[in-house]
Amino acid sequence: MTTFPQGFVWGAATASYQIEGAAREDGRGPSIWDVFSHTPGKVADGHTGDVACDHYHRYREDVAIMEDLGLHAYRFSVSWPRVLPGGTFNAAGLDFYDRLVDELLARRISPVATLYHWDLPAELDWRDRDTAEKFAEYAEIVHHRLGDRVATWTTLNEPWVSAFVGYGSGRHAPGVTDPAAAFTAAHHLLRAHALGAQALRAAGADEISVTLNLTPMAGDPEVTTLIDGLANRLFLDPVLRGSYPDDVRAHIAKFTGLDLGDLPYEPIDVLGVNYYTIARLAADPAAPGHAEYPGSEGIAWLPPHGVPTEMGWEVIPSGLEDLLLRLSRDYPGTPLMITENGAAYDDAVKDGQVADTERIAYLDGHFRAALRAIEQGADLRGYLVWSLLDNFEWARGYHKRFGLVRVDYESLERLPKASAHWYREVIARNGLD
């Protein structure tokens, strides 16, 4: 592979509820995902994050694996209900992240902290306006403890998923199915991002970010414009320009009487980009609409081209290249970081190894697409692969494996896959010294 620019950051990412376990230890309170996963029928085979990968107890082993891979950075999320269970400060909850950050720095791995990756304390709700203010208070508390060692702070991970999968289709926690609730949650999440960013800025945070899952569209613009607005511009414009696009604002007004003019704004230093696939769309008068895109009646989602991943997602690296160039064109001056990209495959252990050649091909194609975007002017600063470990894949439970490292969910043994060894070689040839 052609060499990436000097200073390019390579790493991996995880999320607290997906890997930590220790759901009831050291004062941690329940999250909406604890409640959801323990509700019969909500998660495949009744799986929960109670134990997950037991990273809470095995973090030193996991950080040693990161060091062996040569990672420059590790993106993790802080568990809000571990820090503020029931709204009360729990010092023991932050102690874990103290230990994790110190272990990362001891092995020369830069910590990248995400404050919210979907595990909202169970007593809170994104339909409530004051949840945004509570998030800002939480951000300030975490920064006060870790800000002397953590340079990069991400407010939210994928607010589109939190809003429209959590409150639109109900496939994710808290399992609400109401278009008005989905738009209300989206608005309050955007408020939380801005207020949290303001709190972090006031506290002296070095670098502030937000991570958005962004989906390029394929199809006639008359069909794709609405879905692009709901999937992408609904979040991009408020975060990077301070207001909603006019067409999105008008669409939201069809479902809710929210005062959209009360949206605060705080510039960010880098935009986190999560990319997995594209959406292929076509007009179809008989299409009933998609619950995660309220008002999408008459638009059909077409099946993927080629062989999809285990998630059913089309493998299309050119979509990443197009996305990075679009962001550079439409939102100039915004540094970019790929904060998630990866694939789930049906990994099999044979002779003590996992020869996940499909994942290697997937990552290789996307790395090359990212490099092409850089060569055309995209200000891409780094690439964090999803995920370091196989983990709890939300409503799909433990059935989908994204990890560079295989986790045996009975013994909890870690086994680096062929993709992990390949990634080590990529890192050694590219970017930072």
Residues with a known catalytic role? 158, 340
159's enclosing H/E stretch is: helix 159-160
Residue type, 400: K
The answer on whether 126 is annotated among ligand-binding residues is no
Q: Are 270 and 209 in contact (CB under 8 A)?
A: yes
Q: Are 336 and 273 in contact (CB under 8 A)?
A: yes
Residue 271 pairs in a beta bridge with: 210, 336
What is the token pair recorded at 364? 């290789």
Cα atoms in the Cβ-side hemisphere of radius 13 Å centred on 189: 31
The answer on whether 232 is annotated among ligand-binding residues is no
The answer on whether 72 is annotated among ligand-binding residues is no
Q: Do you know the residue count of the chain?
A: 433
What is the token pair recorded at 10? 């390579």
The answer on whether 18 is annotated among ligand-binding residues is yes
Separation of alpha carbons 61 and 416, rounded Å: 12
Strand pairing of 299-301 and 279-283?
Answer: antiparallel
Any idea of the CA torsion for 161, 167, 171, 172, to the nearest 10 degrees? 60
Within 204-295, strands assigned E span 207-213, 217-218, 270-274, 279-283
DSSP code, position 383? E
Q: Are 101 and 109 in contact (CB under 8 A)?
A: no
DSSP code, position 165? I
Cα atoms in the Cβ-side hemisphere of radius 13 Å centred on 225: 8
Determine phi and psi for 333, rounding to 5 degrees.
85, 5
32's enclosing H/E stretch is: helix 32-37
The answer on whether 375 is annotated among ligand-binding residues is no
The residue written with tokens 């306006």 in the block is 129
Separation of alpha carbons 272 and 106, rounded Å: 25
Determine phi and psi for 338, rounding to 5 degrees.
-75, 110
Query: Helix axis angle, 179-203 relative to 234-241, nearest 10°?
Result: 30
A 10 A CB-CB count for 416 gives: 18
List binding-site positions for substrate.
18, 117, 157, 276, 386, 393-394
List binding-site positions.
18, 117, 157, 276, 386, 393-394
